[in-house]
A and B are shown apart, each in its own frame.
Chain A
C-alpha cells in the first residue's frame, strides 16, 4: 500500500486549499458540545463571577460598622445613656451585650463575640460635673487591626462632640465662652488588647493556619474517591468485603497526619519567624486543630462522592474555598459583614476555627470560652460525614 499523497486517498474529496476556518470551526463546535455536557464546569464558570460579585459587592466591608460591643456600666444615668446613644449613633458600634461584671466581659472578648468593651466607671457623671475629667474605658480586641482600627480612630472625636452637645443641653447652656479651650469633660482611654502594636502578622499567621489546612485537606479527600472511580478501581473495591465507613475512615486517616505536619510547620514558623505568641493552651489548640482537620476532610470526602471526576472535585473544592476565604474573617472583618453573610459563614468550619485559633494563641481563650465554636465545628463535621457515608454508593446502581 502506498502512503496517501498530498492529493489524498482516491475516492475521497481532495482537501480544499484553505479549510483553516472549517477546521477551527469544527474544533470550536466540538468544544462547545463538550462544555455543554460538563455541567459542573459550566456551573463554575457562571457561579464564580457571580459569587465574587455578591461577596465583594455586598458582604465585604473593610471599614466595618455595627461592631458588636459589650457595655459594662457601673452606673446608669442620663449622661451615660447619652454617651451610649452617641456611640451607637456613630454607626460603628452595636451594643449587643451587657455583661454583669468584668470577668463576663472578658470572656465575651476571648470568645470573639464582641470586639469592644465600653466600661463606664462608678461615679462617672458626678466626676464629670465636678470637672474631674474622668476616663471612659474602651477596651478593643485588636487581634484584627482592620476590624477595630477605624472604629477606634473615630471614637474620640465623635463621642466627645456628641457628649459635649448633650452636656450643654443638659446644663442649660455652654459653660465656657463657646470656644473649645475648656478642659474636656471626660477622656476616653482606649486599650487595644492582645495586639497593641497592630502587627498584621499576629492576625494573619493564625488565620493562615486555618486557610492552608482548609485548602489542602479539601483537595486531598475530594480527589480520593473520584480518583478510584475514574481509574476503575472503585469497581473492584466495591466487590470486596469492605464497608463504606471503613473506606472513608481509611482514606481520611492518612491525611489527618499530613494536616498535623502542616499545622506543626505553620505554628513553628509563626512562633520563630513572625513572633506570634502562644498565650493559651497548646494542647487545646492541637486537639481543636485535629477536629478542624477532620471536619475539612469530611467535607472534601462528601464532594468526592458527588463529583463525577477529579476535575469536578477540584472545581467544587474551589467553589467552596472561595467563600470560606472571603467570609470567614480571614481576609476581611467578620463583624463588618451583613447578617446574611454572617449566617452563611457560620456554616463554614474556617469561621469557627479562626475564632478558636486566634482566641487560643492571642487571647488565651480556654475551652469554655470557645464552647460555641467547638460545638459548631463538631456539628459541621458530623453532618458532612453523615452525608458522605449515605451518599457513598455501595453498588454501581
Chain B
C-alpha cells in the first residue's frame, strides 16, 4: 500500500491540506471558508449535524464537486487541477450504497478492479472476497445483501485498488452495532498499515475512535483536534441530577440562567453550562431537596457538540 506509485510525488505528511474552501448551491453557501489538515495514517472524524456541509466537503476533496473558491491539496495533488490523478488514489464511499445492485459481489469487485487498472482483476477480486469474509456470497447479487454486508462490500470495493486515502461518507449509517464495531476494527487496521482515513459520522462513539476530529456546522469548522482537546476546548461543566421524574426536573431547570444544556439520560438529567459558577447556582436549590442527588461529571463529546450546535445556530440566525 505504501509502494511509490508512478506520477505521484512522495506522499507529504499532510495528506489533506485545504484552505478557505467555499461552495454554494443556488446562492446558499453550504461550505464556508473551510480549512483543515489531515496527517498521514490518521483516522480523521468529520462530525456535524445534517446539512452542515460534510458531504459537500468530502465531494470537493475527491473532485466530485468544484469549490467556488479556496485552494488545497489531497495527497500532494492540487484539488482544483489534478482531480483526475487524485481519483486514482482515493477510495470514496458514498453515503448511499452505490455499487451495482444487479451485479454479484464478485462482478462488482471485478468491475472496480478493471476501472482502476488493478493487475489481474479476477484474482484481485477473489482475494478481496476472501479478505472481506464474503466467501460463499460472491455469487450473490449485491442488492440482496443485508445492510452490514453491503457496507462491508462497499468498503472492500473502496480499498481494492489500494488507495492512499479513504473518504468515507457516513459509512455506518443504518448498520447494526456488531457490524459497526467490525467496521471500525478494519479501519484501524488499515490506518495502522499507513492508509489515511477521513470519515464522517453522526455517532459519538465513532468520533471517539478517531485520532482527530473536526466539528462542522453550517459549513464552518467549529472545533478541531483530538477528542480530549475538543472537549477541553469547549470549557463545559456538567452535572447529573437524579432521583426524581426526569421530565419534571427538566421542566423545572429549563431556561434557568447558567444552564445551557439539558438532556434526559434514563432516570437522570444531564445538565451543563460554560459558566461553572452559574451552573452551580442554578442547581444549588436541588441539592437541598430530599432524595435528589446532584453529582458533577465530565462533559461528553456529545455535550460539546450539542453546545457547539446551539451556539452556531445562534450565530447563524
CA distance A233 to B96 in the complex (A): 9
Q: Identify the B interface with A (CB < 8 A).
A: 59, 62-66, 84, 87-88, 90, 92, 94, 96-101, 112, 115-117
In the complex, which of the residues B63, B64, B66, B116 has the most CB atoms of chain A within 10 Å of its own CB atom? Answer: B64
The answer to whether the Cβ of A284 comes within 8 Å of any Cβ in the partner chain is no
Whether B98 contacts A395 by the Cβ 8 Å rule is no
Can you report 8 residue pairs joining A to B where beta carbons are below 8 Å apart? Answer: A232-B94, A232-B98, A236-B94, A236-B98, A238-B64, A241-B84, A241-B87, A396-B59
Interface residues of A in 54-100 (CB under 8 A from B): none
Please name the residue on chain A nearest to B90 by beta carbon: A239
Contact with B along A216-250 (1 / 0, CB 8 A): 00000000000000011111101111100000000
Whether B100 contacts A239 by the Cβ 8 Å rule is no
Whether A240 contacts B96 by the Cβ 8 Å rule is no
Contacts of A7 in B (CB 8 A): none
The answer to whether the Cβ of A397 comes within 8 Å of any Cβ in the partner chain is yes
Known: A395-B64, A396-B65. A239 touches B92 (CB 8 A): yes
Whether B115 contacts A242 by the Cβ 8 Å rule is yes
Known: A239-B62, A395-B66, A397-B65. A232 touches B84 (CB 8 A): no
Whether B63 contacts A239 by the Cβ 8 Å rule is yes
Shortest beta-carbon distance from A235 to chain B in Å: 5
Contacts of B116 in A (CB 8 A): 240-241
Shortest beta-carbon distance from A374 to chain B in Å: 35
Contacts of B84 in A (CB 8 A): 241
Q: CB < 8 Å: which of B63, B101, B117 contacts A395?
A: B63
Contacts of A395 in B (CB 8 A): 63-66
Across chains A and B, which 9 residue pairs bring their CB atoms closest together, nearest first? A239-B92, A236-B98, A232-B96, A232-B98, A241-B88, A235-B94, A241-B87, A240-B115, A396-B64
Whether A232 contacts B90 by the Cβ 8 Å rule is no
A interface residues, tally (CB under 8 Å): 14
Please name the residue on chain A nearest to B59 by beta carbon: A396
Q: Besides the contacts A240-B112, A240-B116, A395-B66, what 6 more A-B pairs have beta carbons closer than 8 Å?
A: A233-B99, A233-B100, A235-B64, A239-B63, A239-B90, A395-B64
CA distance A396 to B66 in the complex (A): 9
Please name the residue on chain B nearest to A233 by beta carbon: B98
CA distance A395 to B61 in the complex (A): 12
Question: Secondary structure of the A side of the interface?
Answer: loop
Please name the residue on chain A nearest to B100 by beta carbon: A233
Please name the residue on chain B nearest to A240 by beta carbon: B115
Contacts of A231 in B (CB 8 A): 98, 100-101
Contacts of A233 in B (CB 8 A): 98-100
CA distance A231 to B142 in the complex (A): 13
Contacts of B115 in A (CB 8 A): 240-242
CA distance A162 to B287 in the complex (A): 121
Contacts of B66 in A (CB 8 A): 395, 397
CA distance A241 to B8 in the complex (A): 15
Contacts of B99 in A (CB 8 A): 233, 236
Contacts of B63 in A (CB 8 A): 239, 395
CA distance A341 to B90 in the complex (A): 53
Shortest beta-carbon distance from B316 to chain A in Å: 24
CA distance A239 to B157 in the complex (A): 12
Q: CB < 8 Å: which of B62, B97, B112, B117 contacts A232?
A: B97
Shortest beta-carbon distance from A238 to chain B in Å: 6
CA distance A231 to B100 in the complex (A): 8
Contacts of A235 in B (CB 8 A): 64, 94, 96, 98
Contacts of A238 in B (CB 8 A): 64
Shortest beta-carbon distance from A22 to chain B in Å: 33
Contact with B along A185-212 (1 / 0, CB 8 A): 0000000000000000000000000000
Shortest beta-carbon distance from A251 to chain B in Å: 13
Whether A240 contacts B65 by the Cβ 8 Å rule is no
Contacts of B62 in A (CB 8 A): 239
Whether B87 contacts A240 by the Cβ 8 Å rule is yes
In the complex, which of the residues A231, A234, A236, A397 has the most CB atoms of chain B within 10 Å of its own CB atom? Answer: A236
Contact with B along A272-304 (1 / 0, CB 8 A): 000000000000000000000000000000000
CA distance A396 to B96 in the complex (A): 15
Contacts of A241 in B (CB 8 A): 84, 87-88, 115-117
Contacts of A242 in B (CB 8 A): 115
Please name the residue on chain B nearest to A242 by beta carbon: B115
Contacts of A396 in B (CB 8 A): 59, 64-65
Please name the residue on chain A nearest to B86 by beta carbon: A241
Please name the residue on chain A nearest to B94 by beta carbon: A235
CA distance A231 to B98 in the complex (A): 7
CA distance A240 to B91 in the complex (A): 8
